[in-house]
Amino acid sequence: MVIIVIDGLTPSVFEAADTPAIRFLAEHGEYRRASSVFPSLTPVCLASISTGAYPDVHEIPHLVWWYRAEQRIVEYGSSFGAIRAAGFARSLRDTIVDLNAKHLSRNAETIHEALESAGLTTGAINITTYRGSHRHLPTIPGVPAVNGPKRFFFYSLYESDRTGAPMAVRNRALGSIDAYAAAVGRWLVTRDGFDVLVYYLPDFDYASHAFGPEGAREALARSDAAIAQLMDAAGGPDAFLTRYAVVLCSDHGQSVVGEVVRLDAGADLVTASNRAAMVYTQTPRAVAERLDAQPAAGLVVFEEDGRIVVRRDGDEDDALLDEVPDGHARAAAALRNPNAGEVLVSAAPGWEFLDLAGRHHLGGGSHGSLETADSEVPMLTVGLDAPPASITGIKQLVADHFGVTVRRAA
């Protein structure tokens, strides 16, 4: 099986795609729109794709969060400036090593752990949630070893096999990361090197942040070319589908940014990035009520006496969550993540929050909120059961396909 994740691809761009590899897969599969998780930000979503769990179980809460155990900020890469503000070496270590080694809960089990403990061979290319049981040394001295799947390739930094692929990080805007993934993927398919491959293509999201979701269509041609390379390596599209079942999805959507603001919660700590913010506070209700007057704050959620409270512009009503995809489950799971703040803020349509370094995507695209545009993803399955309604359903689909029992989280 090949699980293709095109970061930030919206359902409408997918549905209108006229690129050949994606069209071919769509014509041979079953499709629906599915829900992401909240916050609809890449590290949170990829952890849910990989573990089949919502964030209350996998415990990755946001792109930027307060690590209570170590009393410090974790920043996975909201922007280059934010990485520098949080400490360059610290942020890289958090993103590349500790997300998997420390932050991702041991109660969650990745696709790689589930399938490899059943004797199957799995592969991962560039996905940030890669935890597995095989030790991999870095290609650059001084970087820690990590535990990944048997076939493991991560931005030229970890490579389980010598493939001759070009360096991943040469020219991001021209799609060098997806080109690296394609070269590695071609090598693996040629050698029939896996039972399941997670094939993660991040360059589309990069273009969509810069040009907005509808402006990134040109970048989709490069994602498509990366899929076509896998097909070529198998002997063409038909031969590819004879050998592999396919899931094609994205991790979250994107929406257009028209206004930006630094979210202020007085003396309480705010961690904000893109279209989601968290407030770490002893007085969640007071914080949420003060946010009523803030136009950038859309749905604001907190927990009170074991119950989820939802506010927007001064209205307090659970039914507000009916307006967004999978709203109740997503809000509750986000709040019940032990690493989350006590108040979660989903940005109002059109708004984005400044990150640690004051960076934003004004005039471009962003995501992170509970709103539909950020939260709906395309979900296509080929040669499998019907596509799941949530990105949390992919792992079970994979396990069922191979007859593997997944370890349920406590």
Whether the Cβ atoms of residue 362 and residue 352 lie closer than 8 Å to each other? yes
Question: How far is it, in rounded angstroms, from Cα 146 to Cα 152?
Answer: 10
Cβ nearer to Zn ion, comparing 75 with 205: 205
Whether the Cβ atoms of residue 13 and residue 30 lie closer than 8 Å to each other? no
Whether the Cβ atoms of residue 247 and residue 6 lie closer than 8 Å to each other? no
N-to-C CA span, the chain? 28
x-or-dash pattern for Zn ion, window 158-197, by CB under 5 A? Answer: ----------------------------------------
**Shortest distance, position 103 Cβ to Zn ion, whole Å:** 19
**Shortest distance, position 203 Cβ to Zn ion, whole Å:** 11
- Joined tokens for residue 276: 């989601």
Stretch that binds Zn ion, among 13-21, 102-110, 156-164, 199-207 (CB under 5 A): 199-207
Stretch that binds Zn ion, among 110-118, 201-209, 235-243, 346-354 (CB under 5 A): 201-209
Q: Give the 3-state secondary structure of residue 248.
A: strand
Stretch that binds Zn ion, among 73-81, 204-212, 306-314, 340-348 (CB under 5 A): 204-212
Q: Which has the closest alpha carbon to 245: 3, 55, 69, 9?
A: 3
**Shortest distance, position 94 Cβ to Zn ion, whole Å:** 17
Cβ nearer to Zn ion, comparing 150 with 252: 252
Question: How far is it, in rounded angstroms, from Cα 367 to Cα 369?
Answer: 6
Stretch that binds Zn ion, among 202-210, 212-220, 224-232, 235-243 (CB under 5 A): 202-210
Task: Give the neighbor-by-neighbor strand order of the sheet with 30-35.
Answer: 30-35, 376-382, 246-249, 2-6, 196-201, 122-125, 151-154, 158-159
- Does residue 352 touch Zn ion according to CB under 5 A? no
**Shortest distance, position 347 Cβ to Zn ion, whole Å:** 14
Stretch that binds Zn ion, among 139-147, 200-208, 337-345, 402-410 (CB under 5 A): 200-208
**Shortest distance, position 8 Cβ to Zn ion, whole Å:** 5
Q: To which residue do tokens 């929406």 refer?
A: 255
**Shortest distance, position 310 Cβ to Zn ion, whole Å:** 25
Cβ nearer to Zn ion, comparing 205 with 268: 205
Q: Are strands 72-75 and 64-67 parallel, antiparallel or unpaired?
A: antiparallel
Cβ nearer to Zn ion, comparing 76 with 302: 76
User: How distant, in Å, are the alpha carbons of 41, 159, 194, 334, 353 from that of 116?
Assistant: 27, 18, 11, 29, 40
Q: Binder to Zn ion among 113, 116, 195, 205 (CB under 5 A)?
A: 205
Cβ nearer to Zn ion, comparing 17 with 45: 45
Cβ nearer to Zn ion, comparing 79 with 281: 79
Q: What are the residues binding Zn ion (CB under 5 A)?
A: 205
